[in-house]
Structure 1
Amino acid sequence: MKKRLLKLLQTKEARKTDLGTRSAATNDIGELRGINSELDTLNAEIAELRSMIDALPDEPDEQPEQRGNELHGTELRGTPNGSVNILGTYGIGGKGNEQRSLDRFDTVEYRSAFQEYVTTGKKSDNLEFRADAVTGTGDIGVVIPTTILNRIVEKMKDYGHIWARVTKTGIQGGVEIPVSNAKPTATWVAAGTMADKKKKAVSGKISFSYHKLQVRVAVELVAGTVAMPVFEQTVSDNIYEAMITALEEAIISGTGEGQPLGITVDTNIPAAQILEIAVEDMGKYDTWTGIFGKLPRKYRSRAILILNDADWNQYIVGMTDVNGQPIARVTYGLDGTQQERFLGKEVLPVEDYLPSISDALEGDIFGIVCNLSDYMVNSNMQMTFKRYFDEDKDEWISKSTMICDGKLADRNGVVLLKKKASA
């Protein structure tokens, strides 16, 4: 049995080599798609054959005479009618396929059809489509194979918390929004007199430009020749995750040149609200009460603390009194579950957007206290997704684009924490 499977494997590998040679020589898109489809099937069958061969024990060498006698004896007992379907017996061909996996989205057939849909756009009857009840039946999505879905779960990271809190607008780029820090005041006047007229002073303005954020992922036309796990690993790289991560990085530390202006880079934040903090003072309770005290009261109720996750765990969760005991368990609830809150304010620990105070250079910003809704992101088109074919390179391009700008609309409710120079 093992020898016959090995012979069948050699035949299929030879066919795969021949198809690879043909695909490299032809320029006909239709023929390339046909070759790609056949290669999908061959790759699946070769993988199954190798799995079966590895599971079978090695067969002892047989003498030609002995094997001939066995075959002769078989013929005397009667030759079976019809052909032998080896692949069908092992669940590769025929109806055995349907019972190989309890999850219909994890079968080789479904995964191959999904791969073809992504690389060529061809919709197969093996795929299940879902209609979008909001935008209509024209916008439909294919059910992701279970194996690929599991890969996406494995690669998930903590992102989107900052993006969810900022204000999104859709005004025209170049429009200037006036900003006023001064408000008119009422005065006491004597009978028969009038108060002086007050001027509503405009001290600044906010305007938005056009910056383009884009992610492009290319898949070669002959991607079917790549092993299935490699393709799944490529698909699992979520381009929207990259977009949100880039946006959040810009909201925190964007330069303002070709990208939004980040909170830590904004030069118009009041100087009195940029505090220098020494490393040795990070774990002191009165340091943090002083930090929140610098935030004007009218901005304090909705403010949050954005801090590197390492600093949150080391200096706040690990804050102790003179006896080494936790400070009144300020970061824990009644049930002992850790809550990311401190002094009544929500804490947003981040890993990539801000350095820890230990890693920061002297003068670097390592923490922010603000209301993120005071940061405004302006976009006229939001995120778009487009898929097209590059004829010159024979590649399918998946592209996500966003045109936007962003900056602080109100800088008076921001406190920046800067690493203090060593004495």
Structure 2
Amino acid sequence: MTDGEVIHPVPAGVYEPGLGAVLARLADRFDDEGVVMVDLDAAKAMRLPTTRDGLAAVEGDHDLLREIRSDGWEVRKLTDWTTLRREGLVLRVGLLPAIDPATFPLLDPDPKDGMGTLTSLALWHRVTGSAYHGTTGIAGTAVLSRLTRVGTKKMEPTWKPKIELVPGFEDDYHADHFRAPASGMRFAHAYDANRAYIAAAANAILAPWQLKPGGTAFDPKLGGWWLCELSPWNDKRIPDPAGYSAAKGPRWISTATVALLQDLTEQGVYGGVTIKDSRVSQGAELLRPWAWKMRDAYAAAAGATDDPRDADRVLKALKEAGRKTLGMLASETNWIYRPDWWFSIIATDRANRWRKMWRTGREENRWPLWVDVDNVWYASDIEDGIAAIPAGWSLDPTGMKLGAYKHKATRKSRVAGTEVGR
């Protein structure tokens, strides 16, 4: 089947020469990249292992690999998702019987013909510009690596720099970090940000190159880490703008956090930041093209197919990919290892949300009850959470607008005069 649209009869004897020969027959159907899915019957006919344990033994100079290489393909080992290269073409080969369905949201659960799997894979490729393979995090990383470039020369960033040991860490706000005093109101409403990390990734200042010592003068155009002595935050109406950490003494924090604290110092509401050291590089909004691509793909998926099942599978995969791709930046086993990017994205998201809560508090005297990552809870005597949203908080219940909020949940007070959830 081709993209689930055309069924081609397989001529007798096609599978006998093995996977490399079959892919050679299919190669002219692709431009620079594509996906080939192999089902159980085809795998057995090409003498391929059909389990993950069986595949793990196929590496090095194994007969199956020599057979594939004899047809001109570059391949290192066989896995549930194997990458093969030849003459500028990259093929992602998925071995269906070995793929864990829990890691493959594009899989059609109907085992009769598997057409939906191919149409979903084709739809992913159309809306993202990249062939799906592996997990949603791996597929999202492929989109990211294709789009992320630096400067007018479109250079690749340093994907895996030598990471000097900087114990920098940024965390989201969690419900156990901060609780406002009891409001005495009857309801608490949660407002959840749409794909918050992708929105933050579009605006985060990230260092494309190796981080180097940068002195003690803060520059918001630099991406990386700053070792700071922080002032205490004594305003109990809102979480600490510096975030929360178990570390004592000076802390390594990212550019987005320092920029917020500097702004608050200039406003006269924060005691100041003393920078003692830094590890930085000239920064840029490196991931904006990727974030916009993931945003546009999400918006386009539903309208790019007549089958709502395909759209649902691709939308689910895109939502997972946005979260997991960015989290994988902090994994040492990932081929892109930029923990400084991941923590800077967390800090950017947290700082943007803090500014929004601060403005609401100052303008409306309405302060958050607690914050759980991208969920902000506010008290109200109005039962309708949509009607109770703070002024200036745009609601987007469709989930399409990055960074906009939707009403997520409502809780009632247990006892009149006490705070919800306390």
TM-score normalized with structure 2 length: 0.24
- TM-score w.r.t. the length of structure 1 is 0.24
The structure with the largest alpha-carbon Rg is: 1
